[in-house]
Amino acid sequence: MIYAMNILTYFSCSKDASNNFVLQDIQGRPKALSLENERGLTVVAFMSPECPLCAYYAGPLNQMYADFADRGVEFFAVFSDTLYTAGEIDAFLSEYGVKWQVLLDPFNQLRNEIQATVTPQVFVFDSAGLQVYSGAIDDWAVTVRKHRQVVRHRYLRNAIEAVLEGRSVDMARTDPVGCLMQ
């Protein structure tokens, strides 16, 4: 089944001129991702089942998904490369209760286009598909193995709230802390 998924992957990754990507769902079927969202915002979170920070941040991301889903914010967990099997990704999603949409980016098409470098790393796009924030979820993680006792800045939450309230994002880019993507 993994071999069939990889063959399908080769033929199903594309991008058109209007920020629409065709990636895959967890079963290997083509799945569209539009960075333009008529209802509101699109949040793309690059994740990895092996990164300890992704395990930690699944909780805060799940909470933001619950807080903002009814306000037109779509969340996508994106797993790049072909390093992980569908079973490994499914186990991660199940263990950490990820209920938002999941996409596979096996040939790093989306990753390269928006320049993701680590996991977890988040990107926020407004309704026109313009990137309004990229970087860390918050400032809890100092390094992959070192963290603060208390979160002082909630970068992702603040960016989402600012755009939903019609304000500009105070800090449109932060340096993400995480596991390097291969």
| Burial of residue 166 (number of CB atoms within 10 Å: 0-12, 13-18, 19+) | exposed
Query: Which pLDDT belongs to residue 129?
Result: 93
Concatenated DSSP letters of 66-91? HHHGGGTEEEEEEEESS-S-HHHHHH
Which CA distances in Å does 149 have to 33, 135, 141, 146? 36, 20, 10, 10
Tell me the one-letter amino acid at 44.
V
pTM of structure: 0.89
**pLDDT tier for residue 5 given thresholds of 50, 70 and 90:** very low
Query: How far is Cα of residue 40 from the mean position of the Cα atoms in its chain?
Result: 16
Residue 131: strand pairing partners: 125
In which band, very low, low, confident or very high, does the pLDDT at 20 lie, cut at 50, 70 and 90? confident
Predicted pLDDT at 18? 56
For residues 18-28, average pLDDT: 84
CA distance 53 to 72: 26
- pLDDT tens digits, one per residue of 138-176: 999 999 899 999 999 999 999 999 999 999 999 999 999
Q: How far is 15 from 121, CA to CA, in rounded Å?
A: 21
Digit-coded pLDDT (tens) for 79-129: 998 788 889 999 999 999 999 999 999 889 999 999 999 999 999 999 999
- Average pLDDT over every residue of 31-56: 94
The domains of the chain, with CATH numbers, are: 2-180 (3.40.30.10)
